[in-house]
Amino acid sequence: MAQIVTVTNQKGGVGKSTIGVNIAIALKELGKKVLLIDVDGQGNSSATVSRDARINQRPGGSECVFYADKPIEPTSTPLGIDLLHGHTGLENVDREVKAEEAAKLKNRLSELDYDFIIIDTPPSLGVRQLSALMWADYAVIPTKASSLDVQGTASTIRVIRSLEKMGLQIKWKIIVNMFVNTSKQQNTMLDSLRQNFPNNFVPIPLGQRVGVSDSLAIGKPVWEYNNIPREVADSWRSLPNTLGLI
């Protein structure tokens, strides 16, 4: 059975795509068979792993996961992970599909021949984000340590808690990204997150680093980027472990 890991937050720009792609590659390097499903119309993670900047203009891709009658046909990528890409036409899904119906399609995904399925989501709570949470064995919630970003995170956690009340079992973790450790405000926010979510909080944040965005631009994981400090490389490469996925 494939383990489904949904990377989500109702806030944009917190590092969902960046973290999703790096987790996918890290798992692949650990010998796991990985499928990345990008259900965001921007297709950022799809562009990164396929090396095709215009991939989000192409129909097909991840659409199939929302419709029982559409065959699931992932493509391979130069990074060694398979992909169901995101594209602008996915907006139709939000109009045509009900999340409760899509939720029933989880088994179709878990029965695919993969060890891990990583789902990258759009920032708004529509059918795609909600379905991806309903399918999740694990939810990874990246956030920045600022009050606006934490508000988005809190909404996402409320959704997860309501799904848990409906009987879904989701293991979830919040991870702070783009942390600036010289900022007093960010340190205060980090402490408050740690206190509020003691069991669901990754204690060591991922720092703000130019190399992180630059590595994605050339289709590499953070740890393969030239001159990236060893401890930064290690913190990204060990994400599957830190997040309790393996």
Ligand X SMILES: Nc1ncnc2c1ncn2[C@@H]1O[C@H](COP(=O)(O)OP(=O)(O)O)[C@@H](O)[C@H]1O
Stretch that binds ligand X, among 14-22, 55-63, 111-119, 128-136 (CB under 6 A): 14-22
* Token code pair at residue 150: 């934490």
C-beta nearest to Mg ion: residue: 17
Determine which residue in the list 3, 50, 129, 177 makes contact with ligand X, applying CB under 6 A.
177
Least distance from Mg ion to the Cβ atom of residue 56, Å: 11
Q: Should residue 44 be labelled a site residue for Mg ion when binding is judged by CB under 5 A?
A: yes
The answer to whether the beta carbons of residues 50 and 76 sit under 8 Å apart is: no
The contact mask relative to Mg ion for 6-35 (x = CB under 5 A, - = no) is ----------xx------------------
Give the CB-side neighbour count of residue 151, counting CA atoms within 13 A: 2
Determine which residue in the list 6, 18, 56, 235 makes contact with ligand X, applying CB under 6 A.
18
> Which option in ligand X, Mg ion, none does residue 178 bind, with CB closer than 5 to 8 A by kind?
ligand X
Strands (E) across 52-162 are located at: 75-76, 82-84, 116-120, 138-143
* Token code pair at residue 86: 């995101």
Give the strands of the sheet with 138-143, arranged side by side. 75-76, 82-84, 34-38, 116-120, 3-7, 138-143, 171-176
Minimum CB distance to ligand X smaller for 49 or for 216: 216
The contact mask relative to ligand X for 203-222 (x = CB under 6 A, - = no) is ---x-xx--xx--x------
Residues in touch with ligand X (CB under 6 A) = 12-18, 44, 177-178, 206, 208-209, 212-213, 216
